[in-house]
Structure 1
Amino acid sequence: MPSGSRYWTVIDNELRVEPVADRFLRELRFGRDRAESTSKAYANGVALFFRWCQRTGRDWRTAATDMGLFMVWLKYVPAGDGPVVTGPGAKPVRSDGRINRVLVAVRRFLSFAVVNKEAPQWVLGQIYELADSRDLPLEAQSEDGGLFYRMRARHHLREPETPVDRASDDEIVALFTACLSARDRLIVLLLARAGLRRSETAGLRRGDLHLLPNNRSMGCEVEGAHVHVIRRDNVNGAWAKSRHARTVPVDFLLVQAFDQYQIERQQCAAAVGSDFLLVNLFRAPLGSPVTPDAINDLFKALCARAGLTRSVAPHMCRHAFASNLADSGALLDEIQRLMGHASVSSSQPYLHPNASRLRAAVDRVPTPRLLIEGVIR
């Protein structure tokens, strides 16, 4: 866009923009202030829907009557091309979770089309059904901006309940030890000890870290060392997912890592003028802000250098932070606030206790003395 902001859209085989989809994605990105990555995910889902309609000769405005067939197509047709092959031995090409995410994008697009009179009203009845709002979580009641209160999706695959894919404490220590610079060690700790997303980490400014016991001298009333996570339009493509700023307390390890990084950063003259916290110190362009993709590349190199048996992604360190919070007894609302989740339900997967926590919970239940004496007898 002329302002420098970006969003993703959908084009046809002739490279022409699909007008209704484009309006929907612009509304999502700028009208609802959603992240660029969100517009990309939704554009991918809507593009698959348009491709299915084109391949099967359907009008997208009325294709909602065959959403079940669309789900089968998604499950068994790779890259949106080729015949649908089902039956014994057929291997799904998309997971149930991926299909559900596509369906969310398509439902919201079709809802937008109905509201803007680009699709008939009856389409809503094909993708939603009435439900008792008491049975729905808050985010389900307002899935489309509150327009379809007390309605729930008709088409949804049951996803298997799997544990959160977190980095173990040993893996985090191995990654930290494999770092070759103070900057890289700070990146690992921001992810694993503060729970920041990689894009939030890359978007930090120097003034976002307040590391004094009393920060009033910097115009901040929050006591103790902490970091502010704020959404901005950054030149390096970094973007805080939540539109609401949050404050995350940090421990002494992160404070020490920051001090060591400051000494390292001062040795790079090109970094002096940059307001970004994390900048290139060892390769051109020197002094330019680190990008989210560069953090991915860093973790690939650290995994290889540490000799880990599996690939640990930056987001797995964030999962480790939330899991450690849950294991230490943090309440659900505390986890939600520290992680920057819009909904409490996003924090619930971290509350699944392991066997040791279940044992500890039982052991904390007091046992009456008379019951003990009766059993011993």
Structure 2
Amino acid sequence: MPWNRPSFFELGRFAQWLVTEPLPPRGSRSTAVRFRSKKTANAVLTTTFEFLRFGSGHGWVPQEVVDPLAEPKYLSFLPPGYEPGEEDEFRTIAARTIKFVVADEGIEWLQDGQVEQLLELLSRARDRFLVALLRCTGMRIGEGLGLRREDMHFLSRSTTVNCQVVGPHVHVRRRVNPNGALAKSPFSRWIPVTEQVVDLYADYQYERARVSEAEQTDMVFVNLFRPPLGRPMSYPNAKDMFDRLARQAGFPARPHMLRHSAATCWIRSGVQPDVAQDLLGHASPSSMQPYLRATDRDKRDAVESTAARRRETR
């Protein structure tokens, strides 16, 4: 099959292959069989179809290949933040014809008690600081691993380093980092931190000082327990740590769940969405929509509190 002339049937077979073909094992010792999720398959299909459309625009792919990939769809119910236009001219969109139906599972987050359990299970100061920092600030893991020591302003005043922000805080900046970590947003921001985070950072600095190789880099998170010592901590390092932690705790624990935990806690505590949006580094207000949804606890509390008031008025 020529790459630029796939039939609609062949693209459908490719979609099925994406979810039925086993993925390579993680590591040489792993025996677990893994498959792509339908959500991941949809992302691959989106990239594939956009590439074909790009090729069509340059004359590499026939238009008859691209035409069946989408069909008009009228949006009766608009997604949050979607602008339909003054005369509803944007209600009709081009909908993909080949895609998997994926249920909206909502966001996954950890309760405060679960976060405390994770901290208790960790024996290394570096790892405890990483978990507490992600939970406190809502950073993405790439933002955390990309931090430099110059970003950690943990004194009550930071005027000595030409920073006018009052109180302990951390700066998130987008840079090219040796470990490949990258802040998603191109805009820098600062995030306040708690006394607990400051204390855990001091513990980590004491632990780090015992590894002379760590002084060769300004990156905050570095390898202290396995070679190459002093090298900036990478995504696989962090994932391995969280995987081990999840097995010990007996529940899922991933870096992004700590981000969701911070955002959910802020919103549930009455923090205005625009403030939470700024703390998280989201460019669009619509990105906050998942955190504004009612939780299972919210719905149960609503029913039970209403029933209690009805009993009181009888």
* TM-score after normalising by structure 1: 0.65
Say if 1:75 and 1:277 are closer, same or farther in 2 by CA, change over 3 A.
Answer: closer
**Change over 3 Å in CA distance of 1:93–1:256 after alignment to 2:** closer
Please list the CA deviations of residues 188-247 of structure 1 after superposition, one character each: whole Å capped at 9, or x if unmatched: 112222222222222110011222343333222333322222222211222222333332
Instruction: Name 2:117's counterpart in structure 1.
Output: 174
Residue 214 (structure 2) aligned to one of 257, 271, 296: 271
State the one-letter code of the partner of 2:251.
Answer: R
Shift of 1:275: 0.9
Classify the secondary structure of the residue corresponding to 1:357: helix
Give the secondary-structure state (helix, strand or coil) at the position aligned to 2:218.
coil
> Is structure 2 residue 68 aligned with structure 1 residue 118?
no
**1:310 to 2:288 alignment:** no
1:52 counterpart residue number: none
Where does the alignment leave 5 or more consecutive residues of structure 2 unmatched? 25-33, 85-89
Asked if 1:335 is matched to 2:276, the reply is yes
1:109 aligns with 2:56: no
Deviation per CA, 1:28-53: give whole Å up to 9, x if none: xxxxxxxxxxxxxxxxxxxxxxxxxx
Q: Does 1:323 align with 2:264?
A: yes
Name the structure 2 match of 1:16. Answer: none
Kept in 1: contact 2:149–2:218 (CA 8 A): yes
Q: Indicate if the aligned counterparts of 1:64 and 1:126 stay in contact, CA closer than 8 A.
A: no
Q: Distance in 2 between matches of 1:338 and 1:261?
A: 24
Instruction: Name 1:71's counterpart in structure 2.
Output: 15
Distance 1:372 1:364 in 2: 10
Deviations along 1:291-342, whole A, 9 cap, x unmatched?
A: 22111222233345xx322342222222222222232233443333323334
Q: 1:270 to 1:75 in 2, by over 3 A?
A: closer
Q: 1:245 to 1:62 in 2, by over 3 A?
A: farther
Greater relative CO (CA pairs within 8 A, separation 6+) = 2
CA distance in 2, matches of 1:210, 1:193: 15
Match of 1:210 in 2: 153
Which one-letter code corresponds to 1:292 in the other structure? Y
Match of 1:261 in 2: 204
- Taking a change above 3 Å as real, the CA distance of residues 71 and 298 of structure 1, as seen in their structure-2 partners, is closer
Q: 2:166 aligns with which of 223, 228, 239?
A: 223
Deviation per residue, 1:235-265 (Å, 9 max, x gap): 1222222333332222221122112222333
- Number of aligned residues: 295
Please show how residues 17-36 of structure 1 align to structure 2 within 5 Å: none
CA contact (8 A) 1:210 1:225 kept: yes
Letter in 2 for 1:183: R
Of 187, 196, 199, 2:142 maps to 199
Counterpart among 192, 204, 216 of residue 249 in structure 1 = 192
The share of aligned pairs that are identical, in percent, is 35
Aligned residue among 265, 286, 290 for 1:349: 290
Query: 2:96 maps to what in 1?
Result: 154
Query: Could you tell me which amino acid in structure 2 is paired with residue 250 of structure 1?
Result: V
CA distance in 1, matches of 2:65, 2:167: 53
Relative to structure 1, is the Cα distance of residues 311 and 357 closer, same or farther in structure 2, using a 3 angstrom cutoff?
A: closer
Q: State the Cα RMSD in Å.
A: 3.7
Tell me by how many angstroms 1:277 deviates.
1.1
2:183 partner letter: A
Aligned counterparts of 1:345 and 1:278: Cα–Cα separation in 2 = 32
1:126, CA displacement in angstroms? 2.8
Cα distance, 1:252–1:348 mapped onto 2, change above 3 Å: same
| Alpha-carbon contact 1:228-1:245 (below 8 Å) kept | yes
Residues 109/303 of structure 1: CA separation in 2 closer, same or farther (3 Å cut): same
Mapped partners of 1:341, 1:116: distance in 2: 34
Q: For 2:114, give the aligned amino acid.
A: E
Q: Which residue of 1 aligns with 2:87?
A: none
Say if 2:173 and 2:189, in contact at 8 Å, map to a contact too: yes
What corresponds to 1:236 in structure 2? 179
